[in-house]
Amino acid sequence: MTLVSIIIPCYNDFKYVKQAVESARNQNYDNKEIIVVDDGSEWRTKEVLQNIKPQIDKLITQKNKGQSFARNIGIKEASGEIILLWDSDDYFDNSFTSKAVAFFKDENVKIVSCYARCFNEKAEWLYRPCGGTLENFLFQNASLGCAMIRKKDWVLCGGFDENMTRGWEDWEFFIRLLKSGGTCVIIPEVLFHYRKRSFSTTSIANRNIEILWKYILKKHEDLYSSNYESLINYFLKEIEKHKQERLKMSNRLEYKIGYIILKPLRILKRLLNG
């Protein structure tokens, strides 16, 4: 069996990292190693990591340098040909690794992920990335950030961009991974459980969309220049979508204000007609 290295960067996730490690250990694929990178966490997280250290094959501790740096360090230390990228506040179903590894018999497959159950304190919902080739990744991440790749492909495309500390580093990495060809396979099963938190890297990225888009467009100028018409169409659709959202918000706000202003008049009318 091919050795799979599970890489789990961890930064101040004392509430959830134990569940992530236990889920990694419980994967029904025997030939695996678990590497946790403590990215400068505070004492509570360090205490949890020491308590679960017997379940971890390699525990790497460093100063806080960001998720990209932590992932790169973990992958450098990995012995496996296959890498499973895993966030410390999320978890996979036990069958994911064995199901995903099977796809790498095809050399054209570069990324394997799955459907996800997203959840927070109030609700849960299904997320189904589409996967596919580079074309599918031009304007969105068509995979979960937590996915399986080959270590040799990580080496060939230069690893994660350590300058990207505001988010989207996984999407940008997948763009480079697929630039030379290949495809991303999405297993059409809900095998990932994605905890959505208000201060997660995704929420930080959403607050920095303009900066991140500018960085990606500049870094991959050749790619987006050759897809110029698609790029223009994408941003025109985004502008129209935001315009419609603002219009709906304005209408809702005007309705609420009108309802509040007119309420006393309606009460007065009822009293007079009483």
Predicted local confidence at residue 250, as pLDDT? 66
Low pLDDT (below 50) residues in the chain? none
Q: Which CATH number fits domain 4-226: 1.10.3720.10, 3.40.190.170, 3.90.550.10, 3.60.15.10?
A: 3.90.550.10
From residue 8, give the alpha-carbon distance in Å to each of 13, 73, 188, 197, 212: 11, 11, 24, 18, 24
Q: Which residue has the tokens 């927070």?
A: 120
Q: Which has the closest alpha carbon to 181: 113, 245, 239, 110?
A: 110
* 214-235 pLDDT, tens digit each: 999 999 999 999 999 999 999 8
Question: Does residue 251 sit in helix, strand or coil?
Answer: helix
Kindly list the domain boundaries of the chain, sorted by start residue: 4-226, 227-274
Q: What is the pTM of this model?
A: 0.86
Predicted local confidence at residue 40, as pLDDT? 95
User: Any alpha helices (H) in the chain, and if so which ranges?
Assistant: 17-25, 43-51, 67-76, 96-101, 151-156, 169-179, 201-206, 209-219, 221-225, 228-273
Q: Which has the closest alpha carbon to 85: 100, 107, 103?
A: 100
User: Any alpha helices (H) in 113-208, and if so which ranges?
Assistant: 151-156, 169-179, 201-206
Identify the H or E element spanning 190: strand 183-195
